[in-house]
Chain A
């Protein structure tokens, strides 16, 4: 700034002068320019104000800061003596600088070394050229140091290559020189010369001879001095001391003798042992030891089963079974490892082999030999020949005969009982069987076949037979009883004046006149039965021993005339709510009725064929696909097939079939629609119901059957029967339910049984 301001100063002064010159004539012009150079004018004014100050103060600048500084210094700055030399009015740069001499003087005053004149001289004008060059090497014209030029990589690589080439060539030369020393086959011409060769050989022979001579001479000399004997004795001594096979005898080798093969040499070394141990020396082979260790490691890795009771006995090398000690697996751990060993010289291989062969022979002697080649191969026949048939026996034959006899016996026992009652159907098949047995006896050939058949299902036969005999016995007894019962009641029924006594009715009568009560009782049938029994006893007390019926007393001794009225009053009213239990003895029909009512039989069940029962009748190769309509001769379309006949069947007008769809399951039960659907669906999907569902259904069905079988006249526990019996016993119309008569009730139960 300072410099610029100074320039302005100069300009100002010049301009001022100029203005002074044209002060009078150019006010317009000034005014005209005023707009343009407004700023300039301002400055000019400002500078004009300070113009005097500037001149008075030589050094100070017009900036206020600097002014302060100038005022500030307490000491006036040391007046530079170079002021005079300073080019005050020097060119526009206005730079103060001293000459070299002046600066040197100044430096001397300041205590500094003088300037480097050489460099300064060079810069100024004429100096020594070499110095200048030296300086230029380091620095450029701006004083900057020269940089080392970058390495040329390509050149370097080329140099390397060249160097390598040179080295290679050098080596080649060296090798060639080396090789030149030996002669090649082609080159060795000298040897071909016979004369030279002969002479050479002669030379060698001569040299040998001379050497021998020299040796002899030396020996003679030794002999003369007695050295030879000494040497010989020494040698002998040495031989004696030598360790030979003899010394090895008796030393144990800790390997199995079989592992050391005869073909190869095996180097054995003394086994390591403690210094203080006094065991005998043992020879081992290091490699074989390693092998053994390796084998053992593998064994350990295998993790054998430690306990195997079914294991076959181990055999030693000759095939004799080894004895096993208890917990043999721990033997190694307790006793230490057991190792095979042999002693050199003691173990003779020849003897060993002999032993082995002998043992094998012994073993062979024990066994029977079987040759492989002798037997001729024959084609196996499908049938037995006579010899084989003779061999082939059926052990069951005899057993069966005994059994048949037994069966006959049992039937014989039964027979006499059956004679009286021939009307019973169930007996018939048995008769046939007996006949068949009788027929069976005379023939010789036939029985074999039959017996075979019988054998197959003799268990079934036995079971059936047993059931039959039991049934027969029952039937006999029942028939005996029934025939006796049958005859009497009819006689009684004929009797008009007979009195029917009804315990309940009597009971009710005594209680009061409640006729409905009597009617409602469902015990009448039982009462009827009891009446029957009573009558039987009255008539045939002496005959029957089996039937033990307690005699009720009292009621039958009542006056018949009095009773007659009552009975006539009550009897017609006696219509039991439940159906009367039909009498089985009256005939097959009655029995069937009873069975039906009890649920033993179902009406349709008899006729209905069961699926499973008739399975064998169904066509085996029948399938629904057989019904294919693909080639129907009607010529009708597929769609029309289902539309039915076009015209109605007039001739079949009256035909109104009663179609009833019924579904039967595998057990032959009729299914309702729901069950049928389920059944079909299971069949269709091929997936049955779960186990629980099946169980549930079975339970339900069994319960149903039980319900059917349940006595319709009594509670399941037979309490009514008991009550009546009790009443009979006590001959009272009531039963005391209090606890003090418990003994009696137990007695009652006993009698029931």
Chain B
């Protein structure tokens, strides 16, 4: 299990627990459950790389305690 911090820098910051083999889409759903935004409106980014929904977190080398930028579309 890893815990990831997602921050939209607009007042929302959530810590999400998830598995490393979860996909980015799963993470988004979890975030949506916590924040109340619809999951398909969420964009996760790290610098200029936008994470795609179907790829696992471990493949993006997203580890425990990492910060991920949270955007909305």
Contact = CB atoms under 8 A, between A and B. Distances in A.
A1 B37 contact: no
Contacts of A123: 1, 3, 64
Given A142-B63, A144-B63, A78 B13 contact: no
Contact of B10 (A2, A78, A113, A117): A2
Contacts of A6: 11
Name, among A6, A69, A93, A97, the residue most crowded by chain B CB atoms within 10 Å (CB to CB). A97
Contacts of B1: 100, 115-117, 119-120, 123
A69 B72 contact: yes
A168 B43 CA distance: 67
B11 A2 contact: yes
B30 A103 contact: yes
A78 B72 CA distance: 16
Interface in B1-57: 1-3, 5, 8-19, 22, 26, 29-30, 32-38
A29 B52 CA distance: 57
Contact of A112 (B9, B22, B72): B22
A35 interface: no
Contact of B33 (A69, A110, A113, A117): A110
B64 A143 contact: yes
B33 A82 contact: yes
Given A100-B17, A120-B17, A110 B11 contact: no
B13 A61 contact: no
A114 to B, nearest CB: 9
Given A103-B30, A143-B63, A61 B11 contact: yes
Interface in A67-111: 69, 73, 75, 77-80, 82-83, 86, 93-98, 100, 103, 106-107, 110
Given A98-B17, A100-B17, A59 B2 contact: no
A73 B11 contact: no
Given A6-B11, A66-B11, A123-B1, A115 B17 contact: yes
Nearest to A124: B1
A97 B15 contact: yes
B19 A116 contact: yes
Contacts of B72: 69
B10 A77 contact: no
A599 to B, nearest CB: 124
A525 B63 CA distance: 153
A498 interface: no
B17 A110 contact: no
Contacts of B33: 78, 80, 82, 106, 110
Contacts of B8: 2
A5 interface: yes
Contact of B36 (A66, A79, A94, A106): A79
A160 B1 CA distance: 45
Contacts of A69: 72
Contact of B17 (A1, A80, A103, A143): A103
Contacts of A83: 36
Nearest to B62: A143
A89 to B, nearest CB: 15
Interface string A292-317: 00000000000000000000000000
B49 to A, nearest CB: 19
Nearest to A76: B36
Contacts of B15: 95-97
B37 A2 contact: no
A2 B65 contact: no
B19 A115 contact: yes
Nearest to A102: B17
Given A65-B10, A66-B11, A115-B19, A98 B34 contact: yes
A372 B3 CA distance: 128
Name, among B2, B14, B34, the residue most crowded by chain A CB atoms within 10 Å (CB to CB). B34
Contacts of A144: 63
Interface in A120-158: 120, 123, 142-144
A277 interface: no
Interface string B56-73: 000000011100000010
A65 B12 CA distance: 14
Nearest to A119: B1
B11 A113 contact: no
Contacts of A539: none
A110 B30 contact: yes
B22 to A, nearest CB: 7
A3 interface: yes
Contacts of A100: 1, 17
A83 B34 CA distance: 8
A97 B30 contact: no
A63 B10 contact: yes
Contact of B14 (A95, A113, A143): A95
A96 B14 contact: yes
Interface in A1-26: 1-3, 5-6
Nearest to A99: B17
A116 B36 CA distance: 25
Contact of B13 (A3, A5, A103, A119): A3
B19 A110 contact: no
B26 A97 contact: no
A94 B8 CA distance: 13
Contacts of B2: 143
Contacts of B12: 2, 61, 96
B35 A107 contact: no
A73 B34 CA distance: 17
B38 to A, nearest CB: 6
Contact of B9 (A1, A73, A97, A106): A1
Nearest to B1: A120
A103 B16 CA distance: 8
Given A115-B18, A119-B1, A66 B10 contact: yes
B18 to A, nearest CB: 7
A9 B37 CA distance: 24
Nearest to B63: A143
B19 A78 contact: no
Contacts of B3: 97, 123
Contacts of B29: 110, 112
B26 A110 contact: yes
Contacts of B30: 103, 106-107, 110
B54 to A, nearest CB: 14
Contact of B38 (A66, A77, A112): A77
B19 A77 contact: no
Name, among B14, B19, B33, B65, the residue most crowded by chain A CB atoms within 10 Å (CB to CB). B33
Given A77-B37, A97-B16, 14 more contacts: A61-B11, A63-B11, A66-B10, A78-B32, A78-B33, A79-B36, A80-B35, A95-B5, A97-B34, A106-B33, A120-B1, A142-B63, A142-B65, A144-B63
Q: Which 8 pairs of residues, A with B, have the shortest CB-CB distance?
A: A2-B11, A143-B63, A97-B15, A120-B1, A61-B11, A77-B36, A96-B14, A143-B64
27 contacts: A1-B11, A6-B11, A61-B11, A63-B11, A66-B11, A75-B38, A77-B32, A77-B37, A78-B32, A78-B33, A78-B36, A93-B13, A95-B13, A95-B14, A96-B15, A96-B35, A97-B3, A98-B16, A100-B17, A103-B17, A110-B26, A110-B29, A115-B17, A115-B18, A115-B19, A117-B1, A119-B1
